[in-house]
Amino acid sequence: MEYFLNQLVNGLSQGAIYALMAIGYSVIVGVVGMVTFTYGEIMMIGAFGAYYVFQFVGVNLPLALLAAFASSFVLGIIVYKLCYERFFNAPRHISLLCTIGFSMLIKNLVQIVFGPEAKPVLNIIDNRTFSIPLGGAVSIDLKLLQIVIMALVVVLAVTLTLFFNRTKSGVALRAVSQNKEAAYLMGINVKRTAMLGNCIGCGFGGIAGILLAIYYYTISTTTWGGFSMKAFSASVLGGLVDLRMSALGGLFIGIIENLGITISSATFRDMFAFGFLILMLVIRPQGFASKKGSRV
């Protein structure tokens, strides 16, 4: 039982990061109107932005999170200008192919500029573990790192929800996400708003990137494609554009993966994650979302 609960905590921690990744991804899909294949590299750039804050400023987590957000936000502008804005009236696959090409370009550029070797991200959060008794001889081990990451993800998700519901820009973003033509007719600058939404989604991806690096104590230049697929899967589970449901999708994928490892081997991690995704889509094609096309 204790073993099972500890694996559940591992799954929740990983799922929390997946949830943040999925939130950013869903914002992008919602406002741009199509999936992206550069999301892994966007997370990587955010992670590197924060990494260099740790290198040059020291362990300053708020500043690092800001740097991660800012660097991915800026990359989001470039992605938007190169891959989306120029092809608004072109067939949709042009933009998709452009994001694939841009993803390869960024990945190889980063290897050339920052080097191919993995970078250590150590001692950002104290290595403390709390043993929480649950009655009898059962207790669960909760790391401070896991607590901080889960708390940060919750705070960021609530902040984004408030932004969408309580600010003029947020409402404009929701309008663009729901119906671009109607938003345009209501006087919203659709292109600028879509770019802002894309950049905010990228910024959240950047923060997810540095949280992944802190959680795994390292930044690699090669593992981000897999995370991008997880973000996409979580977003699909949540109906692609529903932020809360995408976050739930991320949490589910994290938990399913870790519980899958509990009963079999880590080799089958992706089999559990994507098997669950396929099963879910067969039973409920709209994912966790209440209806197909539900928007932020």
Q: Under rule CB under 8 A, how many of the chain's residues touch another protein?
A: 41
Q: What is the dihedral of CA 28, 81, 196, 105, to 10 degrees?
A: 50
Minimum CB separation of residue 210 from another protein in Å reads 14
Strand partners, 139: 133
100 binding another protein? (CB under 8 A)? no
Residue 36 in contact with another protein, rule: CB under 8 A: no
Task: Find the shortest distance in angstroms from Cβ 269 to another protein.
Answer: 7
128 Cβ contact partners less than 8 Å away, ≥ 6 residues apart: 143, 144
Residue from 88, 111, 179, 192 touching another protein (CB under 8 A): that is: 111
Residue 173 beta carbon to another protein: minimum distance, rounded to whole angstroms: 32
Measure the CA–CA gap between 235 and 14, rounded to whole angstroms.
15
Binding status of residue 261 toward another protein by CB under 8 A: yes
Query: In this structure, what token pair is assigned to residue 168?
Result: 């003029």
Stretch that binds another protein, among 48-56, 237-245, 253-261, 272-280 (CB under 8 A): 253-261
**Piece of the chain touching another protein by CB under 8 A; list 67-75, 155-163, 195-203, 262-270:** 262-270
Q: Which of residues 10-29 bind another protein (CB under 8 A)?
A: 10-11, 13-14
Window of 24-32, 76-84, 173-181, 265-273 that interacts with another protein by CB under 8 A: 265-273
Cα angle vertex 289, ends 68, 148, to 5°? 35
- The least distance separating another protein from the CB of residue 42, rounded to whole angstroms, comes to 17
217 binding another protein? (CB under 8 A): yes
Q: Is 116 in the site for another protein (CB under 8 A)?
A: yes
Residue from 159, 179, 189, 222 in contact with another protein (CB under 8 A): 222
In this chain, which stretch among 43-51, 83-91, 138-146, 234-242 interacts with another protein, using CB under 8 A?
Answer: 138-146
Smallest gap from Cβ 50 to another protein, in A, equals: 17
- Name which position in 118, 147, 154, 281 contacts another protein (CB under 8 A): 118
In the complex, the residues that contact another protein under the rule CB under 8 A are: 3, 6-7, 10-11, 13-14, 107-108, 111, 115-118, 120, 122-123, 127, 129, 141, 143, 145, 212, 215-218, 220-223, 226, 257-258, 261-262, 265-267, 269-270
